[in-house]
Amino acid sequence: MSKFVMIIFGASGDLTKRKLMPALYSLYKDNRLPEGFAILGIGRTEYADETYRDYILNELEHFVTPAEVGMKEFCTHLHYLSLDPAKEEGYAMLDQHLQEITGEKEPDNLLFYLATPPSLYGVIPLHLKTAGLNREHTRIIVEKPFGYNLKSAQELNKIYASVFEEHQIYRIDHFLGKETAQNILAFRFANGIFEPLWNRNYIDYVEVTAVENLGIEQRGGFYDGTGALRDMVQNHLIQLVALTAMEPPAVFTADNFRNEVVKVYDSLKPLTEEDLNEHIVRGQYTASGSKKGYREEKNVPADSRTETYIAMKIGIDNWRWSGVPFYIRTGKQMPTKVTEIVVHFRETPHQMFHCHGGHCPRANKLILRLQPNEGIVLKFGMKVPGPGFDVKQVMMDFSYDQLGGQATGDAYARLIEDCIQGDPTLFTRSDAVEASWRFFDPVLRYWSEYPDAPLYGYPVGTWGPLESEAMMHEHGADWTNPCKNLTNTDQYCEL
Ligand SMILES: NC(=O)C1=CN([C@@H]2O[C@H](COP(=O)(O)OP(=O)(O)OC[C@H]3O[C@@H](n4cnc5c(N)ncnc54)[C@H](OP(=O)(O)O)[C@@H]3O)[C@@H](O)[C@H]2O)C=CC1
Ligand SMILES: O=C1O[C@H](COP(=O)(O)O)[C@@H](O)[C@H](O)[C@H]1O
């Protein structure tokens, strides 16, 4: 077998330093990278191998905590080549460099990772093809968002299909690499107790939340052309909906699993005019105290109408879910960072216990928390000891800490390792990416046709525009908001 080389386009960027290098280092220290591997960073920024190694070592010392021995040794596997990935002429030099690193005439155990702005996702594979670097054993990982809308995703898929076989293409969505996202499948399909209840007969509605207490950091240029819908909803949030809603595959293989994901996307209830007007709330954070508003961020136009928050009510038209609303939301500069799915079961058909002593019987709720404090919480009513029938909500909770205190693995490490081993299960297939865009395309069209469609402000550190609360009130409910500084499972503000 040829020597393994991972080539990162965008090697001077944010993703590389914050996620990819720490993930590769964690695989390295656990001896999970192929023997004699090399990593070649590509970018327009000028570095010599040595200065790039120093730069990455410095970033690893910052992002890998606690600091560990072995990082310097890991960095000896790094190389750097300065070229503009948009220009064809650099690719012969890339080929030459790969030959020098591997000592082989035609190295083909190559993994290309596209961590550049999405505008380069179409041109890089074409240049790889021209340079003859799309060899039999090469693979390519492409970051999200894959496409800007349905049409561009279809065009990209065509380009990739003209350069690689589908089994060589890995469209990454790092949420699927999260241990806790995969655990949704184990929770649903390895346990008999919940699955019989997991349908429209017993579930009233579902919330999917992925919010952050950070702003856009230094990514204004990227984010302003992207927005929350493309950055989070079309990929991460809808993947979580799929994991929650999908049917169990008969056998757990990559194709079976991915077929079930596509079936969920194909069953998403097309958005109507009413949905576009009333069941989508977009927002943008505004200054509060010393915190900047979105329009004051670097590389963001002062009149930007890019959404940093979006909440939507969506439906799935199939036997299991017909009539059950899924409320999904994501936002920057919220009070805390939390990713979770809350499944609200129907109330008992008849309420024989009434509110008492400040407590009211409520419907059962199951919370699947992906981060932080990964775990599962089931809420149910119990009689408070003493006279009368005072029913209080209590919680049964499982925390990942109970699994021997082992930290949940890193999503990027898991996915890069899967790709090296040729396992595409947790990557997005071409038909899935198109099906997802097909569903969200009308929202993008609506916003471009009606640029004055409402965009609500929300102050930094709040739970988004009040209009999104109003959307939930239509269902007679409120969003489940964990308290600020969530530190353990019983900190739910509404309790
Ligand atoms: N950052 C994150 O947390 C996450 C990012 N992603 C995705 O990963 C991808 C990369 O993100 P991120 O690292 O934040 O992006 P960056 O904006 O940091 O860009 C990465 C690198 O691409 C190169 N680049 C930028 N513009 C151009 C250009 N016009 N032509 C050629 N090269 C260019 C730059 O290197 P140089 O100037 O040296 O050429 C830059 O360092 C994006 O698609 C993003 O959606 C996904 C999940 C999380
Ligand atoms: O893909 C992205 O995800 C991050 C959030 O990921 P998490 O694993 O930290 O929850 C988000 O900040 C970023 O904007 C987006 O591009």
Instruction: Write the pLDDT tens digit of every residue in 279-329.
Output: 999 999 999 999 999 999 999 999 999 999 999 999 999 999 999 999 999
353 and 207 in one domain?
A: yes
Residue 422 falls within a domain, yes or no?
no
ipTM rounded to 2 decimals: 0.97
- Tell whether the model's pLDDT for residue 490 goes beyond 60: no
Residue with the larger pLDDT of the pair 372 and 151: 151
DSSP H helical ranges for 190-306: 220-224, 227-228, 238-245, 254-267, 273-278
Q: Cβ < 6 Å from ligand 2: which residues?
A: 212, 231-232, 339
- Tell whether the model's pLDDT for residue 488 goes beyond 50: no
User: If pLDDT is split at 50, 70 and 90, which confidence band does 423 have?
Assistant: very high
Site to probe by mutation for ligand 2, drawn from 212, 307, 369 as the one with most ligand atoms within 8 Å of Cβ, is 212
For residue 260, what are its two tokens?
A: 């079930």
- Tell whether the model's pLDDT for residue 68 goes beyond 80: no
200 and 124 in one domain?
A: no
Contacts of 202 (CB under 8 A, 6+ apart): 345, 346
Burial of residue 32 (number of CB atoms within 10 Å: 0-12, 13-18, 19+): middle
Residue that terminates a domain, selected from 128, 143, 158: 143
Residue 384 falls within a domain, yes or no?
yes
Q: Which of 62-66, 120-124, 239-243, 302-306 has the lowest mean pLDDT?
A: 62-66
188 and 93 in one domain?
A: no
274 and 224 in one domain?
A: yes
Nearest to 412 by CA among 6, 40, 36, 66: 6
Ligand 2 center from residue 14 Cα (angstroms): 12
pLDDT > 70: percent of the chain: 96
181 and 132 in one domain?
A: no
Residue having the nearest C-alpha atom to atom 8 of ligand 2: 175
Number of domains in the chain: 2
Residue with the larger pLDDT of the pair 286 and 483: 286
What's the pLDDT at 351? 83
For residue 233, how far is the Cα from the chain centroid? 8
DSSP state of 178: S
436 and 304 in one domain?
A: yes
| Residue 15 marked in a binding site | yes
Ligand 1 touching residue 147 (CB < 6 A): no
Ligand 1 center from residue 117 Cα (angstroms): 4
User: If pLDDT is split at 50, 70 and 90, which confidence band does 402 have?
Assistant: confident
Residue with the larger pLDDT of the pair 494 and 471: 471
Residue with the larger pLDDT of the pair 356 and 221: 221
What's the pLDDT at 404? 60
Q: How many residues does the chain have?
A: 495
Q: If you average pLDDT over every residue of the chain, what do you get? A: 93
221 and 132 in one domain?
A: no
Residue 76 falls within a domain, yes or no?
yes
Q: Which of 83-92, 118-127, 379-388, 394-403 has the lowest mean pLDDT?
A: 394-403
Backbone angles phi, psi at 471, to 5 degrees: -65, -40
- Ligand with the closest atom to the CA of 47: 1
What's the pLDDT at 484? 53
Residue 15 falls within a domain, yes or no?
yes
- Tell whether the model's pLDDT for residue 401 goes beyond 90: no
Instruction: Provide the CATH number for the domain around residue 282.
Output: 3.30.360.10
Yes or no: say if 393 and 364 are a contact pair by the CB < 8 Å rule.
Answer: no
**Ligand 1 atom index nearest CA of 119:** 29
Yes or no: say if 489 and 342 are a contact pair by the CB < 8 Å rule.
Answer: no
What's the pLDDT at 390? 86
182 and 138 in one domain?
A: no
**Ligand 2 atom index nearest CA of 219:** 14
Residue 492 falls within a domain, yes or no?
no
In what helix (H) or strand (E) does residue 461 lie, and over which residues does it extend? none
Nearest to 30 by CA among 42, 20, 22: 22
Average pLDDT estimate for 442-463:
96
210 and 131 in one domain?
A: no
Q: How much is the pTM?
A: 0.94
Contacts of 435 (CB under 8 A, 6+ apart): 262, 265, 266
Average pLDDT estimate for 193-208:
96
- Ligand with the closest atom to the CA of 15: 1
Q: Which residue segment(s) compose the domain that 448 sits in?
A: 176-409+429-473
Helix (H, G, I), strand (E, B) or coil at 391: strand
- Tell whether the model's pLDDT for residue 272 goes beyond 60: yes
Q: Which of 262-271, 348-357, 454-463 has the lowest mean pLDDT?
A: 348-357
88 and 193 in one domain?
A: no
Ligand 1 center from residue 145 Cα (angstroms): 12
Q: In what order do the strands lie in the sheet with 38-43?
A: 78-82, 38-43, 5-9, 110-114, 139-142, 169-171
Ligand 1 center from residue 71 Cα (angstroms): 24
137 and 180 in one domain?
A: no
Instruction: Provide the CATH number for the domain around residue 65.
Output: 3.40.50.720
For residue 86, what are its two tokens?
A: 């948009």
Helix axes 90-102, 123-130, angle to 10 degrees: 70
Residue with the larger pLDDT of the pair 48 and 408: 48
Task: Report in angstroms the alpha-carbon separations of 281 from 204, 215, 287, 310, 433.
Answer: 21, 19, 19, 6, 23
For CA atoms 275, 277, 278, 283, give the dihedral sign: positive
Residue 240 falls within a domain, yes or no?
yes
Residue 417 falls within a domain, yes or no?
no
| Residue 13 marked in a binding site | yes
Yes or no: say if 356 and 388 are a contact pair by the CB < 8 Å rule.
Answer: yes
Ligand 1 center from residue 122 Cα (angstroms): 14
379 and 270 in one domain?
A: yes
**Ligand 1 atom index nearest CA of 85:** 31
**Ligand 1 atom index nearest CA of 222:** 17
Residue 182 falls within a domain, yes or no?
yes
What's the pLDDT at 400? 78
- Tell whether the model's pLDDT for residue 495 goes beyond 50: no
Spatial distance between the Cα atoms of 315 and 319, rounded to a whole number of angstroms:
12
Pairing of strands 365-371, 280-286: unpaired
Residue that terminates a domain, selected from 143, 164, 188: 143
Nearest to 268 by CA among 39, 432, 82, 145: 432
